Amino acid sequence: MGSTAIHGITEITCALPAVRLWGIDLDVIHSAHGVNRLVSEEEQARARKFLIIKVAERFLAGRGAVRLILSHHLGVDPGELRFQSNAHGRPSLLGFPQSLDFNFSRSRSRAVLGVVHEGRIGVDLEHDFDDPSFLQAARIILSEEERKEFAVLPDAERHSCLLHTWTTKEAILKALGTGLSVEPSHLNTQGPISAVRILIEAVQVSTMELQYLVPWPGTRMTVALERRPFSPGGR
């Protein structure tokens, strides 16, 4: 797919091999693509429950963009795609033999979709924001060990460090498929960024590669990629 083949969608360069990353302008998608014809009845019904029209439009635009991009990757019509979700809401494609995996994240008018043909991917996109009360979330986000390192950081670095850790943990938990059903403070990351060991409650559950990106000014994101399913003692 060329970088401008779909109005409102551009490819973002990702250094992780075999990962395709797409940046989505949700408001452009909504106005340019007639998203209602792309999404399912169920998705339209879910959108009708949002109280704010802009939020509903962006939800539908996100679902529509996911279908446009995946249908291109698979060479099928967007309407042919069916999805299933795991117990924690992680979507995957239903009925396609290919081992294609994807993950989606939205923040305000922007969204990202990561696609990989082998492995499991998680992405999290956040807008930078300036709210001093966010620092209180350190006890929810950081593990005990991480809190010790956080405590000695200069004040000026704390907010950015916490937001960075938040996007990283969310991307990891989305690749694992648990989402926030696992408390981020129970998650510890160790090792070089090329192969981070993921420990939940001191038990290794995965090894992942991470990449940090600034897809648009004032935003940040993390891509987490698990290349092979983790088997304890198997690597």
Ligand X SMILES: CC(C)(COP(=O)(O)OP(=O)(O)OC[C@H]1O[C@@H](n2cnc3c(N)ncnc32)[C@H](O)[C@@H]1OP(=O)(O)O)[C@@H](O)C(=O)NCCC(=O)NCCS
In angstroms, the Cα distances linking 144 to 7, 28, 165, 182 are 45, 43, 14, 15
DSSP the chain: --TTSSTTEEEE---STTEEEEEEEHHHHHHHS-GGGTS-HHHHHHHHT-SSHHHHHHHHHHHHHHHHHHHHHHTS-GGG-EEEE-TT--EEEES--S--EEEEEEETTEEEEEEESSSEEEEEEEE----GGGGGGHHHHS-HHHHHHHHTS-HHHHHHHHHHHHHHHHHHHHHHT-GGGS-GGGEEEES-GGGEEEEETTEEEEEEEEEEE-SSTTEEEEEEEE-S---TT--
Range in contact with ligand X (rule: CB under 6 A) among 7-15, 97-105, 141-149, 216-224: 97-105
User: Does 119 participate in binding ligand X (rule CB under 6 A)?
Assistant: no
- Out of 72, 73, 88, 197, name the contact with ligand X by CB under 6 A: 88
* CA-only gyration radius of the chain, Å: 18
User: Does 91 participate in binding ligand X (rule CB under 6 A)?
Assistant: yes
Nearest distance in Å: CB 89, ligand X? 3
Nearest distance in Å: CB 151, ligand X? 26
User: Does 177 participate in binding ligand X (rule CB under 6 A)?
Assistant: yes
Range in contact with ligand X (rule: CB under 6 A) among 31-39, 172-180, 189-197, 206-214: 172-180
Range in contact with ligand X (rule: CB under 6 A) among 104-112, 134-142, 188-196, 212-220: 104-112
Range in contact with ligand X (rule: CB under 6 A) among 48-56, 177-185, 193-201, 211-219: 177-185
Range in contact with ligand X (rule: CB under 6 A) among 146-154, 170-178, 187-195, 199-207: 170-178
User: Does 110 participate in binding ligand X (rule CB under 6 A)?
Assistant: no
- Out of 181, 193, 214, 218, name the contact with ligand X by CB under 6 A: 181
Collect all residues with Cβ–Cβ distance below 8 Å to 128 and sequence separation of at least 6: 163, 218, 219, 220
- Out of 8, 16, 58, 62, name the contact with ligand X by CB under 6 A: 62
- Length of the chain equals 235
User: Does 106 participate in binding ligand X (rule CB under 6 A)?
Assistant: yes
Nearest distance in Å: CB 43, ligand X? 8
| Nearest residue to ligand X, by Cβ distance, number only | 179
Nearest distance in Å: CB 87, ligand X? 7
Residues that bind ligand X (CB under 6 A): 62-63, 88-91, 103-106, 124, 170, 174, 177, 179-181
